[in-house]
């Protein structure tokens, strides 16, 4: 039985994991404490992103090179709504997710008939388009000046200004997203996606409406990306177009390739390993070499492809 | 007919033609399958058998011809070019209507458009909209009705504008709100009401008029299941998941039901697992539930494909060379399997090259050659048909045989 099937059913698996994550903010780490917690929070954000991206290339088999577009879209939706209207996180977040889903569908509808590389190019272009709009529409997004001073997350009118509170908050969202994707994976909907991934014609012949299931996947994936972006904006309190560069799309894609395309636990593990690793390298490497960490990153992927081409926790069992 | 009880006509194909560019793969083939029957479709390689199958379940759209299945017409009687034209003008129409509505409302730029130019622009747009709707009148009377309604509505709006424009000459954007009730002309309400009424009462007729090409997944839901010549399984999924996918068209749990784990969705999931396992046992794969479909032996993959098709609860099963690559023992098993499927009340249309299998199974046989139907009848009749012998063995051989 694959690990993904056991996520919410095997107590031996999830109780220790949950305990480990829950105590993390309270471990005595001295002066490194706040930094570790920051990296942990960031890792959880990337876990959400990896799970969201996984829906499209992992489940429906369409390569998405533009996931950062939805991340940025969510961040800017939430950031701008917060700055202009001071709305609560719990209103802004669903709106950002809905906006993400809307643009996800809009991107998906004309690309339904595209396959493989062509689809990948469109996703790349669309994401660049979103970021270009963000960068240039000064009246809406302040462009390269960024959006500073976004309010921190809140709950029931209380501001969550402690780092551990933000950590628990994103943990909650991670749990939510995890629940959704795990439930779907073993359901009629998830199977329909797998069928589309394996063979579209055979999928049609068992009664799967390929177009509408692709649209659902696009919407869900984009909504999750936007959700992560919305949290990110409220947590980081400042957003800027440079945060959503093409490189980020590749990074998120790397996480799921590393973990195993289509594998939920793989996506989590990929984020768990690679995100802290990049942070660690940032410390270890001398300042002038700090960009060389991407080099190591590339090396890891190359070696992965050589030794475990299907990822750390592949979906297919031989 | 071996005393087999057969029912009314289930599938009727009439003059089906499929062209690929200049090549006619299927030439005016007519065929019918009655409920509970096993019908064979044979012919030399490249005779167009598989293409014909593809036409039956909309993997390929026939160039012309009629296909009816259980009272539903599967193929549009309108040429793809025409329906594309209609679709495009419909799309343009919708887009223009979006432009047109604010004009009618006069809400967006009242100070600009409460003028004579506005009436002109409106009239031009209205005329163009009507022009776009023109292809619709090719179809059925209702579309002419639609046309008349649009002409009326556009006309009323235009007159209304002309009549009222002096009233609004002093109106600016910011003191517009009190005028809203005046700005929404009764004609707009008429338009909306007429559209809603049209949709409500004419939906079946609209569909009929467009004679829609049914999509493959819709046809599966209507009850045509199929297997493929080159096996098309979801090879990285388990055998059980493959067959559960066959249940897809008989289940309806949606996103929210699944995510919220609503009782109905959970029950349906258990149900489909049970039914899928039943189908697998029926074809003799009861022990291979969790094996990966792609790693099953060849013969099992063929049977798994049949199980998947059976899980869709078909009324008619299309089998495309099910015995290809099977040894005599396996094909003997296949014969019993197809018999059992037939006894379960499912009609079977089967393409097969293995003459032993087809002569053994089929109640009637159709023979295709170069896309044309050259013979049909009981196995005995077909076997002794000169044209069939010619197609298979060449003219000379046929002559010496006779």
CA distance B240 to chain A (A): 11
| Structure-model confidence comparison of residues A292 and A1, the more confident one | A292
| Structure-model confidence comparison of residues A316 and A284, the more confident one | A284
CB A228 within 8 A of CB A49: yes
Is the CB of B241 less than 8 angstroms away from the CB of A188?
no
Classify residue A60 by its DSSP letter: I
Does residue B329 lie in a domain region?
A: no
Q: Which of A193, A205, A215 to mutate to test the interface with B (most CBs of B within 10 A)?
A: A205
* A117 close to B (CB below 8 A): no
β-strand pairing of B372-377 with B224-226:
unpaired
Q: What is the CA radius of gyration of chain A?
A: 19
Is the CB of A207 less than 8 angstroms away from the CB of B217?
yes
Report the residue from A187, A206, A220 with minimal CB separation from B246: A206
pLDDT attached to residue A157: 81
Average pLDDT, chain B: 77
Q: How far apart are CA A63 and CA A124, in angstroms?
A: 10
Domains by residue range for chain A, with CATH: 3-307 (1.10.3470)
Is the CB of B269 less than 8 angstroms away from the CB of A183?
no
pLDDT attached to residue B204: 59
Is the CB of B253 less than 8 angstroms away from the CB of A216?
no
Show contacts of B383-390: CB within 8 Å, 24+ apart: B383/B359
Q: How far apart are CA B375 and CA B377, in angstroms?
A: 7
pLDDT at A295 over 90: no
Does residue B172 lie in a domain region?
A: yes
List, for residues B112-147, the tens digit of each pLDDT value.
445 555 556 666 666 666 666 655 555 555 555 666
CB A216 within 8 A of CB A189: yes
Q: How far apart are CA A271 and CA B206, in angstroms?
A: 52
- List phi, psi (to 5°) of B17: -125, 135
Sheet holding B316-320, edge to edge: B72-73, B64-69, B9-20, B23-34, B372-377, B364-369, B38-42, B347-351, B316-320, B224-226
* A202 close to B (CB below 8 A): yes
pLDDT attached to residue B191: 57
CB B282 within 8 A of CB B217: no
Q: How far apart are CA B259 and CA A55, in angstroms?
A: 15
pLDDT band at A128; cut points 50, 70, 90: very high
| Structure-model confidence comparison of residues B108 and B292, the more confident one | B292
* A195 close to B (CB below 8 A): yes
B216 chain-A contacts, CB cut-off 8 A:
201, 204-205
- List, in order, residues 6 or more apart from B163 with CB less than 8 Å away: none
Nearest CA in chain B to A201: B59
Is the CB of A188 less than 8 angstroms away from the CB of B258?
yes
| Structure-model confidence comparison of residues B312 and B200, the more confident one | B312
* Residue B363 C-beta-side C-alpha neighbours within 13 Å: 20
pLDDT attached to residue B46: 85
Sequential DSSP letters for A82-108: HHHH---HHHHHHHHHHHHHHHHHHHH
Indicate the number of domains in chain B: 1
CB B338 within 8 A of CB B310: no
Provide the strand spans (E) within chain A: 154-155, 158-159
Q: How far is CA A7 from CA A52, A181, B34, B287, in A?
A: 17, 11, 50, 26
What count of CB pairs under 8 Å joins A to B?
107
pLDDT band at A72; cut points 50, 70, 90: very high
Is the CB of B259 less than 8 angstroms away from the CB of A183?
yes
pLDDT at A161 over 90: no
* A208 close to B (CB below 8 A): yes
Does residue B13 lie in a domain region?
A: no
pLDDT band at B200; cut points 50, 70, 90: low
CA distance B4 to chain A (A): 29
Does residue B95 lie in a domain region?
A: yes
Q: Which helix (H) or strand (E) holds B320?
A: strand B316-320
- List, in order, residues 6 or more apart from B76 with CB less than 8 Å away: B83, B210, B211, B212, B213
Q: How far apart are CA B272 and CA B68, in angstroms?
A: 29
pLDDT at A292 over 50: yes
CA distance B119 to chain A (A): 34
pLDDT band at A173; cut points 50, 70, 90: very high
Q: Which of B216, B306, B315 to mutate to test the interface with A (most CBs of A within 10 A)?
A: B216
Which of A182, A173, A169, A167 is CA-nearest to residue A266? Answer: A182
Give the ipTM of the model, two decimals please.
Answer: 0.85
* A210 close to B (CB below 8 A): yes
Nearest CA in chain A to B218: A207
Nearest CA in chain B to A183: B259
Q: How far apart are CA A311 and CA B299, in angstroms?
A: 31
CA distance B221 to chain A (A): 6
To 10 degrees, the CA torsion angle through A166, A172, A174, A180? -160
pLDDT band at A316; cut points 50, 70, 90: low
Least confident of A218-222, A234-238, B126-130, B188-192: B188-192
Look-up of token digits 């003799």:
B284
pLDDT attached to residue B317: 94
* A106 close to B (CB below 8 A): no
CB A216 within 8 A of CB B255: yes
Does residue B158 lie in a domain region?
A: yes
pLDDT band at B181; cut points 50, 70, 90: very low
Does residue B127 lie in a domain region?
A: yes
Provide the strand spans (E) within B21-135: 23-34, 38-42, 64-69, 72-73
Does residue B99 lie in a domain region?
A: yes
pLDDT attached to residue B175: 44
Most confident of B55-64, B101-110, B189-198, B387-396: B55-64
| Structure-model confidence comparison of residues A25 and B179, the more confident one | A25
pLDDT band at A196; cut points 50, 70, 90: very high
Degrees, nearest 5: CA angle B7-B8-B9: 125
pLDDT at A53 over 90: yes
Mean pLDDT along residues B77-81: 66
Average pLDDT, chain A: 88
Is the CB of B217 less than 8 angstroms away from the CB of A210?
yes
Report the residue from B234, B253, B312 with minimal CB separation from A188: B253
* A203 close to B (CB below 8 A): yes
Beta-bridge partners for B11:
B33, B69
pLDDT attached to residue B274: 93
Sequential DSSP letters for B281-316: HHTT-TT-TTSBGGGS-HHHHHHHHHHHHHHT--SE
pLDDT attached to residue B114: 52
Which of B367, B354, B291 is CA-nearest to residue B325? Answer: B354
Q: How far apart are CA B341 and CA A64, in angstroms?
A: 43
To 10 degrees, the CA torsion angle through B108, B112, B114, B115? -150
B265 chain-A contacts, CB cut-off 8 A:
187
Q: Which of A183, A185, A188 to mutate to test the interface with B (most CBs of B within 10 A)?
A: A188
pLDDT attached to residue B341: 93
- List, in order, residues 6 or more apart from A4 with CB less than 8 Å away: A182, A185, A263, A264, A265, A315
Nearest CA in chain B to A180: B259
Query: Residue B176 sits in which domain range?
Result: 80-210
Is the CB of A204 less than 8 angstroms away from the CB of B215?
yes
Does residue B32 lie in a domain region?
A: no
pLDDT attached to residue B83: 64
| Longest CA–CA separation in chain A, Å | 61
pLDDT attached to residue B92: 65
């Amino acid at each position: 039985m694959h690990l993904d099937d056991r996520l919410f059913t095997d107590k031996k698996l999830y109780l220790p994991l949950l305990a480990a994550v829950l105590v993390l903010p309270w471990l005595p780490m001295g002066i490194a404490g706040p930094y570790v917690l920051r990296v942990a929070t960031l890792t959880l954000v990337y876990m959400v992103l990896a799970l969201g991206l996984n829906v499209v290339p992992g489940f429906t088999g369409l390569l998405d090179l533009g996931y950062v577009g939805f991340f940025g879209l969510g961040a800017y939706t939430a950031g701008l709504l917060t700055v202009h209207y001071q709305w609560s996180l719990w209103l802004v977040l669903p709106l950002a997710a809905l906006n993400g889903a809307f643009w996800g569908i809009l991107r998906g509808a004309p690309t339904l008939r595209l396959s493989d590389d062509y689809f990948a190019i469109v996703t790349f272009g669309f994401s660049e388009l979103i970021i270009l709009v963000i960068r240039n529409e000064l009246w809406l997004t302040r462009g390269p000046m960024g959006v500073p001073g976004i309010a921190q997350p809140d709950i029931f009118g209380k501001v969550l200004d402690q780092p551990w509170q933000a950590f628990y908050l994103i943990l909650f969202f991670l749990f939510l997203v995890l629940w959704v994707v795990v439930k779907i994976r073993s359901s009629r909907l998830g199977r329909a996606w797998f069928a589309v991934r394996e063979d579209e014609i055979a999928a049609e012949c068992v009664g799967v409406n390929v177009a509408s299931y692709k649209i659902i996947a696009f919407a869900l994936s984009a909504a999750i990306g936007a959700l992560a972006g919305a949290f990110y904006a409220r947590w980081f309190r400042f957003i800027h177009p440079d945060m959503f560069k093409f490189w980020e799309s590749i990074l998120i894609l790397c996480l799921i390739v590393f973990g195993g395309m289509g594998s939920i636990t793989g996506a989590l593990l990929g984020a768990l390993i690679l995100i802290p690793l990049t942070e660690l390298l940032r410390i270890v490497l001398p300042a002038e070499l700090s960009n060389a960490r991407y080099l190591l990153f590339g090396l890891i992927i190359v070696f992965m492809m050589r030794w475990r081409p299907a990822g750390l926790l592949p979906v297919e069992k031989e | 007919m071996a005393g087999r009880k057969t029912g009314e006509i289930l599938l009727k194909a009439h003059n089906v033609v499929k062209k690929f560019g200049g090549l006619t793969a299927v030439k005016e083939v007519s065929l019918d399958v009655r409920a509970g029957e096993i019908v064979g479709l044979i012919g030399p390689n490249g005779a167009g058998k598989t293409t014909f199958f593809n036409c039956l379940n909309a993997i390929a759209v026939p160039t012309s011809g009629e296909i009816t299945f259980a009272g539903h017409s599967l193929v549009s009687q309108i040429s793809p070019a025409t329906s594309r034209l209609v679709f495009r003008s419909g799309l343009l129409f919708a887009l223009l209507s979006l432009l047109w509505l604010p004009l009618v409302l006069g809400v967006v730029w009242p100070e600009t458009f409460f003028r004579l130019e506005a009436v002109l622009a409106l009239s031009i747009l209205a005329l163009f909209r009507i022009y776009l709707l023109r292809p619709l009148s090719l179809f059925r009377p209702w579309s002419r009705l639609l046309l008349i309604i649009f002409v009326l509505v556009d006309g009323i709006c235009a007159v209304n504008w002309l009549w009222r424009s002096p009233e609004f000459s002093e109106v600016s954007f910011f003191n517009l709100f009190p005028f809203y009730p005046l700005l929404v002309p009764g004609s707009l309400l008429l338009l909306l009401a007429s559209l809603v009424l049209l949709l409500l009462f004419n939906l079946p007729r609209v569909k009929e008029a467009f004679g829609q090409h049914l999509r493959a997944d819709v046809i599966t839901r209507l009850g045509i299941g199929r297997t493929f010549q080159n096996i098309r399984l979801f090879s990285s999924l388990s055998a059980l998941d493959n067959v559960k996918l066959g249940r897809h068209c008989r289940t309806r749990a949606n996103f929210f039901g699944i995510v919220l784990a609503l009782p109905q969705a959970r029950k349906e999931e258990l149900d489909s697992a049970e039914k899928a396992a039943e189908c697998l046992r029926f074809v003799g794969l009861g022990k291979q539930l969790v094996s990966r479909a792609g790693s099953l032996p060849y013969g099992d993959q063929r049977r798994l494909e049949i199980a998947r098709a059976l899980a869709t609860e078909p009324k008619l099963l299309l089998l495309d060379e099910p015995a290809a690559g099977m040894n005599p023992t396996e094909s003997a098993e296949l014969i019993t399997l197809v018999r059992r499927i037939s006894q379960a009340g499912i009609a079977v249309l089967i393409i097969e090259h293995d003459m032993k299998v087809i002569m053994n199974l089929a109640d009637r046989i159709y023979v295709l050659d170069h896309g044309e139907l050259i013979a049909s009848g009981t196995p005995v009749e077909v076997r002794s048909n000169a044209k069939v012998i010619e197609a298979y063995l060449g003219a000379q051989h046929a002559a010496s045989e006779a």
